[in-house]
Amino acid sequence: MDLLIPCAAGVEASVKRQLNSLGYGDCPAINGRISLAGSFFDVARLNVFLRSGERVLIKLGEVPVSTFEELYDAAFSLPWEEFLSAHSLIRMDGKSFQSKLGAVKAAGGVVKKAVVDRLKEKLGVRSLDERGERTVVGVSLFRDRATFTLDTSGEGLHKRGYRTLAYEAPLKETIAAAMIESSIYRAGKPFADLFCGSGTIPVEAALYALNIAPNARRGFDFEKWKCAPNVLPQVRQEAEDVRDRHTKLSLFASDISEEAVSAARYHAKRAGVGEHITFVCADMRKFSSEERFGVLISNPPYGERLKEDDLFALYRDFGRMYRALPDWSCYFLSAYGQAERAFGGRAQKRRKLFNANLACGFYGYLGAKPSVADK
């Protein structure tokens, strides 16, 4: 099967590295989707192990279309009966970019009609009761090419299941994982998130450092499909086998809000990594460390709630605090336009990254490297 992994703009390189380390080689990224070939066993592995992909889609076809008739014919020609049953609950998802067919809802209606007509003909039934397994059919129109997909994941893969309490402006788990993967943080290094909010970054850092598959415990839509073999138990077992049960991490997470810290502590426990993270309620200005060569990874406030002067002062003080740790590295994600200037200097690494459709900068400041004597 052809598989597609959609991901947020700016994290494609991270998803590609994750695929490489899972043994899938160098997969091409086209228009925010990474493509590769695979079986249902790979579908299960990707859903369970990928940290920054948003979903795993099966691509049924890709055809140039410029009218609704062409769209119907293209959808009707695809072998939906190999994946859907007479009971499938068919839900539509769609998007359109620079295409003559810009009305996404209407396009979805046309594709659904084609799918239903094809199923009735091929399965020899008069109607579909839609009382069974959910299957999301996707139609994505990009420059007059329609791509037809089936969503194997169901809920987006950022929904790991551990984050149940809301605290202001939480970061998507998939984005937090990409920030960590793109940084120099690795197990054994000191780590701190001084604006931890609901705890997403330290939890994802612990999952990453201990090689814990982020989605081993949740369910996926494809599990219920009649066409899918029962491959998840084997993949969940692989996840159990590869996780590091021996390393004890010492991650530090703090926030100025007691409510945030208590939510973060709860989420870390739910994710099974509570014992690896020390949570403290504190202003980030108070942070210092005896440890060397650590890594700060944070997502400071962007400013919806703060006045411009307060925001500038917050980033200025963050930079001052960081410069008192000369051999630490610091990475942060922010949509604040003055972030680098206020922090006190240009970042060595800078990337545009989208968190929930908000364009952010991901900035990296690298600390001094350990000398031979330090190693």
Ligand X SMILES: C[S@@+](CC[C@H](N)C(=O)[O-])C[C@H]1O[C@@H](n2cnc3c(N)ncnc32)[C@H](O)[C@@H]1O
Between the alpha carbon of residue 264 and those of residues 8, 94, 170, 218, 245, the distances in Å are 24, 34, 11, 20, 22
Q: Is 299 in the site for ligand X (CB under 6 A)?
A: yes
* Distance in angstroms (rounded) separating the CA atoms of residues 295 and 277: 14
**Per the structure block, which two tokens stand in for 256?**
């100025």
Which of the ranges 8-16, 152-160, 165-173, 228-236 carries the binding residues for ligand X, by CB under 6 A? 165-173
Residue 335: other Cβ atoms inside 10 A: 18
| Closest C-alpha among 313, 310, 347 to residue 332 | 347
Q: Which is nearer to ligand X, 57 or 171 (CB)?
A: 171
Q: Which of residues 181-220 bind ligand X (CB under 6 A)?
A: 194-195, 197-198, 200-201
Q: Which is nearer to ligand X, 123 or 281 (CB)?
A: 281
Closest approach, Cβ 346 to ligand X, in A, equals 23
Closest approach, Cβ 52 to ligand X, in A, equals 15
Q: Residues near 313 by Cβ (< 8 Å), separated by ≥ 6? A: 342
Q: Is 257 in the site for ligand X (CB under 6 A)?
A: yes
Among 50, 284, 297, 339, binds ligand X (CB under 6 A): 284
Q: Is 262 in the site for ligand X (CB under 6 A)?
A: no
Facing residues of 333 across strands? 362
* Distance in angstroms (rounded) separating the CA atoms of residues 270 and 163: 8
**Tokens 């700060």, located at residue:** 296
Which of the ranges 16-24, 210-218, 249-257, 350-358 carries the binding residues for ligand X, by CB under 6 A? 249-257
The site for ligand X, by CB under 6 A, has a size of: 21
Q: Is 53 in the site for ligand X (CB under 6 A)?
A: no
Q: Which is nearer to ligand X, 45 or 51 (CB)?
A: 51
Query: Are the beta carbons of 50 and 157 closer than 8 angstroms?
Result: yes
Q: Is 169 in the site for ligand X (CB under 6 A)?
A: yes
Q: Which is nearer to ligand X, 108 or 199 (CB)?
A: 199
Closest approach, Cβ 227 to ligand X, in A, equals 37
Q: Is 170 in the site for ligand X (CB under 6 A)?
A: yes
Backbone phi, psi, residue 187, to 5°:
-55, 140
* Distance in angstroms (rounded) separating the CA atoms of residues 310 and 329: 24
Closest approach, Cβ 333 to ligand X, in A, equals 8
Among 256, 265, 349, 366, binds ligand X (CB under 6 A): 256
Residues, the chain, total?
375
Q: How far is CA 31 from the centre of its chain?
A: 16
Closest approach, Cβ 256 to ligand X, in A, equals 4
Q: Which is nearer to ligand X, 143 or 352 (CB)?
A: 352
Closest approach, Cβ 272 to ligand X, in A, equals 18
**Per the structure block, which two tokens stand in for 109?**
């209606």
Q: Is 301 in the site for ligand X (CB under 6 A)?
A: yes
* Distance in angstroms (rounded) separating the CA atoms of residues 329 and 176: 17
* Distance in angstroms (rounded) separating the CA atoms of residues 191 and 249: 9
Binding footprint of ligand X on the chain (CB under 6 A): 167-171, 194-195, 197-198, 200-201, 255-257, 260, 283-284, 299-301, 314
